[in-house]
Amino acid sequence: MARNASVQTKVGFTVLAWAVALLLFSPILWTIVTAFKTEAEAIATPPTFLPLTFTLDNFGDVQDRSDYIKHAWNSILVSVGSTLLGLVIAIPAAWSMAFAPTKRTKDILMWMLSTKMMPAVGVLIPIYLIFRDLRLLDTVHGLTIIMTLINLPIIIWMLYTYFKEIPVDILEAARMDGAELWNEIVHVLVPMAIPGIASTLLLNVILAWNEAFWTITLTSGRAGTLTAFISSFSSPQGLFLAKLSAASLLAIAPILLLGWFSQKQLVRGLTFGAVK
């Protein structure tokens, strides 16, 4: 930045920006501090900001009441599982489209994108009935399949934009060096695309983790993910704000941390490479 700004302007902008940012962040901040309060303090008037009596009891209660660990484990299985499965299907497809494009490649990419735009409710009922008949309702593997399918277009698109940046010469050199397709992909393409693949993985884990339509409609007790876990707190039961905050914090903390590391990739992934 070569722009010159007087100190006053800089101070002004800084104060304004921090005010707005803290305002936007306040619901999260409030959740964090409330999670460590007692229930009585959580709803006290006037409210306290930092907990007067710092307690970790809420987290224990949440675990006892709704089994956080089981839901979190389901969330990990579904989000990581669906992303890995998606990568296995997407890497060969993205290789094809990036390095052996045909006249139809663009149409296929656009078509894949269009599947992402189909509203979930449009297919909710058949999927629900199919899942019921195949006994996939409320199973982790059933949910993993759905999650793979809904995120596959994004995975392919992201990989495609990353693969496009790899010079085709290098893959051709591998071919000249006697590498068959498998070796070309495993020894040359994938190692070169590791940053891109990692970003894709990260973003898709986040998207799958936060997906809240299929996880709620297709699961109940057994395979419920954290979105289902938190939804079970939607009807208040006595004093519960502190527990709700603890549960919320537990549900979002892992992904909040991942998300902070993946801002750039997020832009690229969610705009299908249109904004980099």
Shortest separation between residue 136's beta carbon and other proteins, angstroms? 13
73 binding other proteins? (CB under 8 A): no
Among 196, 230, 246, 265, binds other proteins (CB under 8 A): 230
Among 52, 56, 69, 129, binds other proteins (CB under 8 A): 129
Query: Which is nearest to 78 in space by CA: 20, 151, 181, 153?
Result: 151
Burial (CB count within 10 angstroms: exposed 0-12, middle 13-18, buried 19+), residue 116? middle
28 binding other proteins? (CB under 8 A): yes
Q: What is the distance between the alpha carbons of residues 71 and 220, in angstroms, rounded to a whole number? A: 11
- Binding to other proteins in span 85-104, by CB under 8 A: 89-90, 92-93, 95-97, 99-102
- Considering only the stretches 58-66, 76-84, 133-141, 206-214, report the one whose residues sit in contact with other proteins under the rule CB under 8 A: 206-214
- Binding to other proteins in span 109-128, by CB under 8 A: 109-128
Among 219, 226, 246, 265, binds other proteins (CB under 8 A): 226
Beta-carbon contacts of residue 107 (< 8 Å; ≥ 6 apart): none
CB 143 within 8 A of CB 214: yes
Shortest separation between residue 203's beta carbon and other proteins, angstroms? 11
Shortest separation between residue 103's beta carbon and other proteins, angstroms? 9
255 binding other proteins? (CB under 8 A): yes
- Binding to other proteins in span 29-58, by CB under 8 A: 30-31, 34, 42-47
Which two three-digit tokens encode residue 17? 């920006």
Q: What is the distance between the alpha carbons of residues 272 and 265, in angstroms, rounded to a whole number? A: 10
Among 72, 80, 84, 266, binds other proteins (CB under 8 A): 266
- Binding to other proteins in span 135-154, by CB under 8 A: 149, 152-153
∠ CA 261-266-272 to the nearest 5 degrees?
155
How many residues of this chain interact with other proteins, rule: CB under 8 A?
A: 124
The string over 52-74, giving b where at least 16 C-beta atoms fall within 10 Å of a residue's C-beta and e elsewhere, is eeebeebbebbeeebebebbbeb
170 binding other proteins? (CB under 8 A): yes
245 binding other proteins? (CB under 8 A): yes
Query: Which is nearest to 156 in space by CA: 105, 211, 210?
Result: 105
270 binding other proteins? (CB under 8 A): yes
SS3 198: helix
Among 22, 56, 186, 198, binds other proteins (CB under 8 A): 22
